[in-house]
Structure formats: structure tokens, C-alpha cells
Structure 1
Amino acid sequence: MVVYWALYWAVRVVLSLYFRVRVYGLERVPREGPLIVIANHRSGFDPPMVGALMPRPVHFMTKVELFSYPLLPLVFKYVQAYPVRRGRPDRQAIRHSLDILRRGEVILLFPEGHRTETGDLQEARSGVVYLAQKTACQLIPIGISGEYRFRRTIRYVVGEPFTIDPQMSRREAQTLVMEKIRDLVQEGESMGRR
């Protein structure tokens, strides 16, 4: 855990020097209990930055392709990242995620499943809904807006925790997840226009 927190602070400092980072609503993050952090996915900077903003250690569900790059598996070991095969249900990743949540820990997921090419929000995949309904744990939405460019402002707006009713249809729940994120992205964009 010492290496995790060292990397946490290194990422936080380095990215804060490169970008103008603005965070709103961080006090809404529950300090204990199982939690799924969900955010829109615009850039490769999203996972390390959102993880570095969280006041609790975070597990990262990471596409399996990244584990083939040199040195990345070593970094992933220390930042609690684990692989997921996309495009079809990955039972091993799902079991691992359920274990994390049953231990009362935190997972960071990007419901869209991959980065958006246009910046527009995409439909949520069903995995986040499955985990939330299976464990009845809280989700905390984050809307990311702004530009990941040198000295440009990136805003992270943290919303209120919510749960997904186990009786809600998968389709309704997927829509709810993206509505929560969309509202926060729009809030961040309106802050940027002031």
C-alpha cells in the first residue's frame, strides 16, 4: 500500500502541474463501504487522474491489452489494476470485481467501456449495472469536462452517491447511470463558461 500512495501523490502532483485541475464535490465520496466510482471516458489520463483524486484506494478494471506493454503490468500490480476482456462477458473479471466490493473496497469503472472519439457520451455497458445490482453498493458519478492540454482546465464534478434498484430493468439502469454522469459533465461545462 505504500507504493500505491507514493504513485497516487506522484500522479496527482505531475498532472496538476501540467493541467489546471479543478475538483468539485469530493466531500460526497463515502469514506467507507463498497463503492463503484463511475465517470465518462475522454482520455487515457482519466483513470490515473480520477484514481489520484479519490480519498480512498481504488481498484482499476483495465483492458487486458494494456497488460502486454513492457513495465505496465508491474505498475498495474501496485495500483490495484486487474484485466478485463472486452466485447463479451469476462467471468473472471466479474468475480474479481464482486470480491473487491464484498470486501468493502472501491472500483473505478468507465461505464461506456472505452474512450469516446468525439467527446459525446456513449451508452453504458451492462457490467456496471450488473455489479451494482448484485452487490447493492453505492455508485458515485463523476463528470469530466475541459481539455487535457498543457495548462488547460480540467473539471471533475463529483455527484451524490446513489444505488440502482435491483428490480430496475438493465436498460433503465444503463440510462440512469449515463444521465447522472451527463448532468455532471454539463455542470462542469457551465462552470467553464462563467
Structure 2
Amino acid sequence: MHLYPFFRSLFRGIFASVYRWRVIGRENIPDGEGIVLCANHISNWDPVLLGCGIERQVHFMAKQELFKVPVLSWLIRNFGAFPVKRGAGDRQAIRKSLEVVNQGKVLGIFPEGRRNRAGAGDVGKVLPGAAMIALKAGVRVVPVAIIGPYRLFRPITIIYGKPIDIVAEVAGKESGERTQYAAEVIRREIQALMDIHKKRA
């Protein structure tokens, strides 16, 4: 576990010097409760960036193929990552996700499911997994916008929005509609953060 703050400090230095990164809304991350961070996904660097922006450790699902690479597997396990089978309903990964937030920890998810290289463009279709986990656990969701692209000495911005009470958002909805509606709320809130950045740019 002691590796996490060391590498976080290391990568903060890299992002500051190489990408001139800006972090906005760090104060929106609540202390002492399980939360789900939901961010748009534009690069393989996104998990590192998402974790570097805040003081709490972020736990991620990572594709199971990465855990077959000896050194990388050891490293990402020490960072709190756990495997998920992509393209299938991985019940074990879902159980682990619920365990993480129920223990009061931070779970990071990219609900688009794959990289969307548009950078500062629009959020793509959001899959229901993150919404389902938040609803099952009864935890809040923090929307996050990553504004790229990742280019040397070009600014990259990460914006943490205010927490969303996702359970309250779906109150009054039919049970069969709640997860999909919650997923749309998450997509909309990430998009709103990106739109605000566009207006300021």
C-alpha cells in the first residue's frame, strides 16, 4: 500500500512538467465514505490521472489480460486494481466493486467502457455498470471530466464535479428504468463539466 503515495507523487510531477495539468474541484471529493468516480475515457493514462488528482486512493477494475504480465500484475495489484472480464457480465468483478465501496473506499470507473479519443468532445454512450453498482451500494457518484488530448507540453485538465445522490435521482422511477436512467444522469453530469470547460476556454 505504501507504493501508492510514492508513485502518485512521482506521476504528479510528470503530469505537472510534461502535460501542465490542472486539477479543478478536488474539494468535491468527500472523506470517509464509499464513492464511485465516473469519468470519460480518452487515454490509457486516464486511471493514473484520475488517481493523482485526489488524496484518497482510487481502486480500479482492470482488464484481466493485464494481470498475466508478471511485473505489471504485481504493480497494479499494489495499486488496488482488480481484474474484470471485458465483454461479459463478470459477477466476481461486480462483487469486488461493491465490496470496495461498502468498505468506504473510492472506486474509479470509466462508464463509456472504452476509450473515446474525442478529448474535449462529447461523452459517448454510457454503460449501466457504474450506475448499477452505485444504486446497489447506495453510494454517491462523483462525475469527472478529463479534458485532453495528452500531448507533450500541452495542458490537460481534470475536473471533479459535485457528488450526485444517485438513489435520490431515480426516486419515483419504475424499477426496470432506474439503472438506465441513473446511467444517463451520470453521462449528463460528465458532459456538463466538459461543456463548462468549453465555455471557459
TM-score over 0.5 for the pair = yes
Whether 2:33 is the aligned partner of 1:24: answer: no
- One-letter code of the match for 1:180? E
Whether 2:35 is the aligned partner of 1:35: answer: yes
CA distance in 1, matches of 2:195, 2:59: 27
- One-letter code of the match for 1:178? R
Structure 2 partner of 1:175: 184
Q: Displacement of 1:67 after TM fit?
A: 2.1
Structure 1 partner of 2:198: 189
Q: TM-score normalised to the size of structure 2?
A: 0.90
Structure 2 partner of 1:164: 166
Structure 1 unaligned segments of length 5 or more: list them.
none
1:1-194 aligned within 5 A = 1-119=1-119, 120-165=122-167, 167=171, 168=173, 169-191=178-200, 193=201
Q: Displacement of 1:155 after TM fit?
A: 1.2
CA contact (8 A) 2:42 2:148 kept: no
- One-letter code of the match for 2:103? R
CA contact (8 A) 1:144 1:188 kept: no
Count of matched residue pairs: 192
CA contact (8 A) 1:144 1:154 kept: yes
Structure 2 residue matching 1:153: 3-state secondary structure:
coil
Q: TM-score normalised to the size of structure 1?
A: 0.93
- One-letter code of the match for 1:123? K
Sequence identity of aligned pairs in percent? 34
CA distance in 2, matches of 1:74, 1:187: 39
Q: Displacement of 1:174 after TM fit?
A: 1.2
Q: Displacement of 1:186 after TM fit?
A: 1.5
- One-letter code of the match for 2:67? F
Greater alpha carbon shift after TM alignment, 66-75 vs 171-180: 66-75
CA contact (8 A) 2:53 2:158 kept: no
Q: Displacement of 1:70 after TM fit?
A: 4.4
CA contact (8 A) 1:36 1:109 kept: yes
Structure 1 residue matching 2:166: 3-state secondary structure:
coil
CA contact (8 A) 2:135 2:179 kept: no
- CA RMSD, Structure 1 to Structure 2 (Å): 1.4
Structure 2 unaligned segments of length 5 or more: list them.
none
CA contact (8 A) 1:61 1:84 kept: yes
CA contact (8 A) 1:20 1:153 kept: yes
- One-letter code of the match for 2:198? E
